[in-house]
Copies of this chain bind each other. A is one copy, B any other.
Amino acid sequence: MKRVQLSHGGGGQEMNQLITSLFFRHLGNDILLRNEDAAVLNCQGEIAMTTDCFTVSPLFFAGGNIGKLAVAGTVNDLAMMGAEPQYLSCGFIIEEGLLLDELEAIVISMAEELKVSGAKIVCGDTKVVPKGCADGLFINTTGIGHIRQSGISAHNVQPGDAILVSRDIGCHGACVLSARESLKLVNPIESDCATLWPVINTCFEQKIPIHSLRDATRGGISAVLNEWCETSHVQLVLEDKAIAVSDDVMGVCELFGFEPYDLANEGTFIMAVSADAAEDALAILTQFSEHAAIVGYATQDSPHKTILNSPWGSRRYLDFPNGELLPRIC
Query: With a CB–CB cut-off of 8 A, which chain B residues contact A129?
Result: 55, 135, 327-328
- Provide the A195-223 mask, 1 if CB < 8 A to any CB of B, else 0: 00000000000000000001101111001
Q: B37–A81 contact, CB under 8 A? A: yes
Which chain B residues lie closer than 8 Å to A13 at the CB level? 320-322
Chain B residues, Cβ within 8 Å of A18: none
Tell me the smallest distance from the CB of A210 to a CB of chain B, in Å: 13
Q: Scoring A residues 253 to 265 as 1 if CB is less than 8 Å from chain B, else 0, what string do you get? A: 0000000000010
A9 at the binding interface (Cβ < 8 Å): yes
The stretch that binds B, out of A88-96, A242-250, A306-314, is: A88-96
Distance between Cα atoms of A330 and B322 in the complex (Å): 35
A138 proximal to B (CB < 8 A): yes
Question: Are the CB atoms of A10 and B130 closer together than 8 Å?
Answer: no
Interface contact B324-A38, CB-CB below 8 Å = no
A77 close to B44 (CB less than 8 A): no
Q: Could you mark each residue 112-155 of chain A with 1 if its beta carbon is under 8 Å from any beta carbon of chain B, else 0?
A: 00000000001111111110111100101011100100100111
A179 in the interface (beta carbon within 8 A): no
Given contacts A44-B45, A134-B134, contact A51 B320 (CB under 8 A): no
A93 to B130, CA, bound (A): 16
* A300, CB-defined interface residue at 8 Å: no
Are A327 and B12 in contact (CB-based, < 8 A)? no
A325, B6: Cα distance in complex, Å? 8
Which of A11, A93, A154 gathers the greatest number of chain B CB atoms within 10 Å? A11
- List 7 A–B pairs whose Cβ atoms lie within 8 Å, in order of A's numbering: A13-B322, A34-B155, A41-B49, A42-B45, A42-B47, A128-B327, A133-B328
